[in-house]
Chains A and B, each alone.
Chain A
Amino acid sequence: MAKWWWFAGVLCLAATAGAKDAAPAAADPALEARMLQIAAELRCLVCQNQTIADSHAGLAEDLRRDIREQLASGASNEQVVQYMTDRYGDFIRYRPPLKGSTAALWVGPAVLLAGGLLVLVLVLRRRARLQPDRFEPDEGDDRDAGEDLGEPVARP
């Protein structure tokens, strides 16, 4: 049994090793981690719902290589992101900067939420002011509930 677990463990390791780039990745694990951290924030423009870190598209591989090279030559994370935005626009960033053209993206959900809450509050307030006779009586529910309880149940 112990042997079996050991074997399964090795298989898992092999699987994760295969999923990574066969590239010169292992050369500098710290740099590789920074590269993946940046790449995880960038959209792969070939398969738009994947990040550059996830994608196997040729372009994503090339861009990972570019990020790696720039970090190796001493660029900061911000400089790398700027390099990408200069070429591919804000669209490449999963977290675009807040500015005129992206304002709707950032503020929109909050505005919708505020609007929904406002409508909810208005409706509840108006209902609270209504006379009780404006509401349908609950007797139907009560009767049903009573019947349910009164149903004959075989008990020992």
Chain B
Amino acid sequence: MKSLRFIIPLALFLVVVGFLAVGLKLDPRAVPSPLINKPAPAFVLPRLDDAAKTMRRDDLLGKPWVLNVWASWCGPCRDEHPQVLALARGKHAPIIGLNYKDARDDARDWLRQLGDPYTASLSDSDGRTGINYGVYGVPETFVIDKNGVIRFKHVGPLTATVVQTRIVPLLKELNG
């Protein structure tokens, strides 16, 4: 009975340490998206390369695709760009760029300088499509299946690890 005096505080201490240890590894910016396993919101947006042409979400039905939200004013987009280029080289799926609240000329210059991994980039100049997709921190990346359902979302710059361990395997599964 006497030993309880030491065991109880020690157990409480270990529980607190456990919570803190887990808390340290959580990213408070990574907010769980309610859109996972929901249909991707519809859009009709002008293409960045030719504003006269539009693309709709339904044009992309039939095979899985990747939606990458980017902007020329966004520093982390520049950091992740090599990963997007690498993903495009793998030819797993079309990558559609959502050019979020950007100036058309700046965005085009940016792609010219850094390389264009996108099958098409779409101008979301007032950010409304971004809001429908729950975008809050550019860059963001979505994987959408052939039925138009969002299967995966990543907030923040893509890393080689995320691409290799999450996105590529998921695309292979969706294609298979």
Contacts and interface: CB of A to CB of B under 8 A. Distances in A.
B127 A45 contact: no
B31 A89 contact: yes
Contact of B127 (A46, A62, A86): A62
Contacts of B78: none
Contacts of A59: 127, 131, 135-136
B31 A87 contact: no
B28 A46 contact: no
A50 interface: no
Nearest to B36: A89
Chain B interface: which size bin?
Answer: 10 to 19
Interface in B124-161: 126-128, 131-137
Contacts of B126: 62
A88 B137 contact: no
Chain A interface: which size bin?
Answer: 10 to 19
Residue in B31, B126, B128 whose Cβ sees the most chain A Cβ within 10 Å: B31
B32 A58 contact: no
B35 interface: yes
Nearest to B101: A58
Given A45-B31, A48-B28, A62-B127, A88 B134 contact: yes
Contact of A89 (B32, B128, B137): B32
Contacts, number: 40
Contacts of A85: 34
Contacts of A89: 31-34, 134
A89 B28 CA distance: 14
Question: Which DSSP category, helix, strand, loop or mixed, fits chain B's interface?
Answer: loop
A88 B34 contact: yes
Nearest to B73: A58
Nearest to A44: B136
B101 A46 contact: no
A58 B132 CA distance: 15
A109 B126 CA distance: 42
B131 A62 contact: yes
A134 to B, nearest CB: 16
B137 A45 contact: yes
A48 B136 CA distance: 11
A12 B28 CA distance: 37
B101 A91 contact: no
A2 to B, nearest CB: 49
B28 A87 contact: no
Contacts of B136: 45-46, 59, 88
A66 interface: yes
Given A59-B131, A88-B136, 9 more contacts: A45-B137, A46-B137, A58-B127, A62-B127, A62-B131, A66-B128, A86-B34, A87-B35, A89-B134
Interface of A: 45-46, 48, 58-59, 62-63, 66, 85-91
12 contacts: A58-B127, A59-B127, A59-B131, A59-B135, A62-B127, A66-B131, A85-B34, A86-B34, A87-B35, A87-B133, A89-B33, A91-B32
